[in-house]
Structure 1
Amino acid sequence: MRFHYAFQKIVDLKGNEKAQAEWMLSAAIGELKAQEQNLHQLLQKRDEIGHSLQQAAQKSTPISEMCRLQSYAEYLDTLIEQKNTDIEQAHSNVKHKQGKLTEKMLDEKVWMKAREKSLEKFRHESLLREQNELDELATVRYTVQSR
């Protein structure tokens, strides 16, 4: 006799939900890394503009050029602030996705445990049936030999 778990489709569904939660977490982590990389690039540009401003101050650079560099530096500062906000949101999203994954993992674990208990019960009952059959065979054999 073969084991058939009545709720196997639910177990499969919970496994699929966990896999989907893993993918979602992976995507959120990828987005966070992309945001951090973008911030790093903005900070590098900001440093370059800062050096350009220092060099422009040391040379006889026209005021209009210095104003342009300063405006660009302020623009980059604004972008950096926005990017920091985006990174905070991405961190929040990653934590949320981690929570969802934990929830899905626990849910799957509960159903897997129920399946394991059902399988163990099936095996135990199967062993009992087999033992009863062997006992019956032994009884029949003994009865036949004693006649």
Structure 2
Amino acid sequence: MKFQYAFQKIVDLKSNEKTQAEWMLSSAIGRLQAEEKSLGELMDNRERMANELQEAAEQKVPVSKIREFQMYVEHLEQCIEKKHTDVQHANVNVEMKKDQLSHKVLDEKVWLKAKDKAKDTFQQSMLLREQNELDEMATVRFAIKAR
């Protein structure tokens, strides 16, 4: 007789939920990395523009051009502030997905543990049944020899 767990579909469902949570976490981490990369690019851009602004101020460049550089640097600073917020939101999302994954892992472990206990119980009952059959055969043989 083969062991069949009555709640195997639930175990499979919990495993699938865990896998989905892993994918969601992976996606959230990818999004965070993209936001951080974008932030780094904005900061590099701002640094480069600030250097160009400094050079323009030292050279004989029209004031309108200097003002243009300055406005662009200010725009980049606003973009950087917004990107910091985006990075924070992405971090919060990653933490939330980590928490969800840990709950899914725990839930799956509970069901796997229940399955293991059921399997152990099944194996014990099978061993007991087998032992009883062997005892019965021994009793029958003894009874036949005693006649």
What is the aligned partner in structure 2 of residue 140 from structure 1?
140
- Name the TM-score, length of structure 2 as normaliser: 0.98
Give the whole-Å Cα distance in 2 for the aligned partners of 1:26 and 1:47: 31
Equivalent residue runs for 1:122-133 within 5 Å: 122-133=122-133
What is the aligned partner in structure 1 of residue 112 from structure 2?
112
Q: Which runs of 5+ in 2 are unaligned?
A: none
Give the whole-Å Cα distance in 1 for the aligned partners of 2:141 and 2:48: 96
Cα-to-partner distance string for 1:42-101 (whole Å, 9 max, x where unaligned): 011001001101111111111011000000000000000000000000000001101111
In the TM superposition, what is the alpha-carbon distance from 1:146 to its structure 2 partner? 2.2
- Helix, strand or coil: the match of 2:78? helix
The ranges of structure 1 where at least 4 consecutive aligned residues each deviate by more than 6 angstroms after the TM superposition are none
What is the aligned partner in structure 2 of residue 33 from structure 1?
33
Give yes or no for the alignment of 1:43 onto 2:43.
yes
- Name the TM-score, length of structure 1 as normaliser: 0.98
What is the aligned partner in structure 2 of residue 13 from structure 1?
13
Cα-to-partner distance string for 1:89-125 (whole Å, 9 max, x where unaligned): 0000001101111111111111111111100000000
What is the aligned partner in structure 2 of residue 4 from structure 1?
4
Cα-to-partner distance string for 1:5-30 (whole Å, 9 max, x where unaligned): 11100000000000000000000000
Give the total of aligned pairs: 147
Give the whole-Å Cα distance in 1 for the aligned partners of 2:35 and 2:123: 53
Q: Which runs of 5+ in 1 are unaligned?
A: none
Equivalent residue runs for 1:69-108 within 5 Å: 69-108=69-108
Give the whole-Å Cα distance in 2 for the aligned partners of 1:145 and 1:76: 101
Letter in 2 for 1:146: A
